[in-house]
Amino acid sequence: MRNLKLFPLLSLLALGACTLGPDYAGPPAALPLPEEGAGFVRAGDAPVTAEPPLAQWWESLEDPMLAELERQALVASPDIAAAEARLRQARAVLRIDQADDLPTVSASGTYLHARLPGFDLDSAEAGEGTDGSTGNGGAGGTSATDFYNLGFMASWEADLFGGRRRSVEAARASLDAAEASLADTQVSLTAAVAQAYVSLRGLQQRIAYAREGNALQRRELELMRQRFAQGTVSQIEVEQLAAQIENSTAGTVPLGAEAEGYANALAVLTGQAPGALDAALIADAPIPLPPASVAIGDPASLLRRRPDIRAAERRLAESTARIGVAEAARFPHLNFLGILGIGGTDPTDLTRLDDFAALAAPMLQWTLLDFGRGEAQVTQAEGARDEALAQYRAAVLGALRDAEDALSRFRYRRQTIASLARAEQSTARTAGLMRQRYEAGTTTLIEVLEAERGHIDAQENLATAKASLTGDYVALHKALGLGWESTGRFSPARIGTDDGPQSRVEDSGR
């Protein structure tokens, strides 16, 4: 008979191997992905090599100041600190979920004083007042008693339908997503530092060329005024040139404010107050240029490398596990409560270690009527899974578009650089020829100055284009998902098998 009484309980425990909810089978394959080893569509006819891209891609720019700023940013950026804090929270949540599957043991000390009207416990035990004739005994009396207890209480919920296992699975996926988000923050941060630095150096060169051109214009104005004094030019021509100079000066002034803004941005990105880097950045330096060839990999390796795709895939895994949590909540819950302690109605009872009380209390709970609440929670979890799936698909397609767009801009920018470089060389030759003619007495100094100013304008345009080219190089590496290194559990998402061949785009604009 005793075994028959335990049969229902043993049957429920046997269900502990049951885990409700769908099993996550990895990222979906039904995506319009390129074939393994296929190249990027926008690579054009650029030559390719099989070398893999560098994680710390900024080192290829060979700028010590930029490399130091990147190091400082990765160490001291508030964005990195916030992402690391979220990672620690995710680790703690995983530990909590894992601990929830284990018994809970607590120690307690209890003192209880009870005054119970309507019954005199002492009189009842002595057999007095059973006829109700006494005022304090039996019914109608009062009883006061003390109770002392020291003991332990343990509780545990059996994971009959895998709800806790699914919760741990979801927490582990959330931890992976947090690690991938940290890597994605590193990618965005390193790209932002490089963009700000390149923009600053480009502005510094533009300001230098603008000042040089302005000085030539003022010298030109001086000569124009001399010619006006000699009656060879009109007052209108002098005033037109003066207005042109003032307009050029006014157009140069905002460049200084813009440069200071980039210096402030670099300070904040490296965890410092605005202005902290002014002394280090005030000296003009050349614009860092991309190397002659750039490793870009292939689309398949891109999808395995980009941390935002990994984060989206891990959130999909988490939301899938949450369905099992919601489904398990609709089924019975079996809790075990155990109490072990010593005590009695007198404090000396606490010393009687051979006389203890023990209680084992299994409790089965099942919500039979919830008016559809449980089913709605499952539907909600399934909707969250479908949303995560759509976001994962969007992340994959967005990553492919980012890479293709960045590659296209980088490729066409190189063509622009080549044209502007030829234009700059042409204006340099023109200025040289005009200087020779002036020395031979066949042209005026004003014409020489105009030719030199044209050369300076061409140099400024070329410098602007070079800064844009390096900016496109930075954007390309951000689109490729570079700029992070694995420091924990995180590893790129597996979409496909081994990495396909890498490719490099030759840069003819160096």
> What tens digit of pLDDT does each residue of 335-393 get?
888 888 887 777 777 777 777 777 788 888 888 888 888 899 999 999 999 999 999 99
181 in the same domain as 111: no
Same domain? 299 vs 409: yes
Label residue 143 by pLDDT band (50, 70, 90): confident
Name the least confident of 139-153, 220-234, 278-292, 453-467: 139-153
Contacts of 381 (CB under 8 A, 6+ apart): 319, 322, 323, 325, 326
In a domain, 261, yes or no: yes
Please state at what angle helix 235-269 crosses helix 163-229, rounded to 10 degrees: 160
**Least confident residue range of 45-59, 307-321, 411-425:** 45-59
- Answer for the pair 46, 413: CB distance below 8 angstroms, yes or no: no
Place of tokens 């002036």: 438
Residue 27's identity, in one-letter code, is P
- Residue-wise pLDDT for 108-123, tens only, equals 887 778 777 765 555 5
Separation CA 52–CA 301 (nearest Å): 10
Across all residues in the chain, what is the average pLDDT? 80
Using only the alpha carbons of the chain, give its radius of gyration. 39
Residue 146, pLDDT score: 81
Clarify whether residues 41 and 91 are in a common domain.
yes
**Residues facing 148 on adjacent strands:** 111, 344
Residue 494 pLDDT greater than 50, yes or no: no
Q: Are residues 327 and 340 in the same domain?
A: no
**Residue 51 falls inside a structural domain:** yes
Q: Does 182 map to a domain?
A: yes
Segment 486-502 mean pLDDT: 45
State the total domains in the chain: 2
CA distance 448 to 454: 10
Q: What is the pLDDT of residue 30?
A: 52
Residue 224 lies in a domain: yes
3-state secondary structure 288-325: CCCCCEEECCCHHHHHHHCHHHHHHHHHHHHHHHHHHH
Q: Which of 137-146, 316-325, 341-350 has the lowest mean pLDDT?
A: 137-146
Does residue 141 sit in the same domain as residue 205?
no
**Would you say residue 446 lies in a domain?**
yes
| Cα 404 to Cα 402: distance, rounded to the nearest angstrom | 6
**pLDDT given for residue 137 in this prediction:** 45
Percentage of the chain exceeding pLDDT 70: 82
In a domain, 1, yes or no: no
**Are 80 and 147 in a shared domain?**
no
More confident residue, 45 or 307: 307
Each residue's pLDDT tens digit, 445-458: 888 888 888 898 89
b vs e for 110-145, b when ≥16 Cβ sit within 10 Å of the residue's Cβ?
eeeeeeeeeebeebbeeebbeeeeeeebbeebebee
Is 9 domain-assigned?
no
Pair (120, 243) in one structural domain: no
Extract the tokens encoding 321: 């596990």
Q: Are residues 174 and 258 in the same domain?
A: yes
Residue 10 located in a structural domain: no
Q: 140 falls in which pLDDT band (50, 70, 90)? A: low
Contact yes or no for 203/285 (Cβ under 8 A) = no
- Closest by Cα among 403, 293, 509 to 42: 403
Asked if 126 and 260 sit in the same domain, the reply is no
Over residues 380-403, the pLDDT tens digits come to 999 999 999 999 999 988 988 898
pLDDT at 508 over 50: no
Give the mean pLDDT of 412-426. 90
Beta-carbon count within 10 A of 153 CB: 15
Q: What is the pLDDT of residue 347?
A: 79
- pLDDT computed for residue 32 by the predictor: 60
Output the domain CATH number for residue 131: 2.20.200.10
The yes-or-no verdict on residue 38 having pLDDT over 70 is no
Q: What is the dihedral of CA 252, 256, 258, 262, to 10 degrees?
A: 150
User: Residue 118: helix, strand or coil by DSSP?
Assistant: strand
- Domain residues for the domain of 435 are 17-101+161-331+384-506
Q: Mark out the alpha helices in 58-162 (DSSP H runs).
A: 64-76, 78-100, 121-126
Asked whether residue 268 falls in the same domain as residue 250, the answer is yes
pLDDT of residue 239: 84
147, 110 in Cβ contact below 8 A? yes
- 115 and 30 part of one domain: no
Average pLDDT over residues 290-301: 78
User: Where residue 463 sits, what CATH number does that domain have?
Assistant: 1.20.1600.10
The stretch 463-478 carries a mean pLDDT of 91
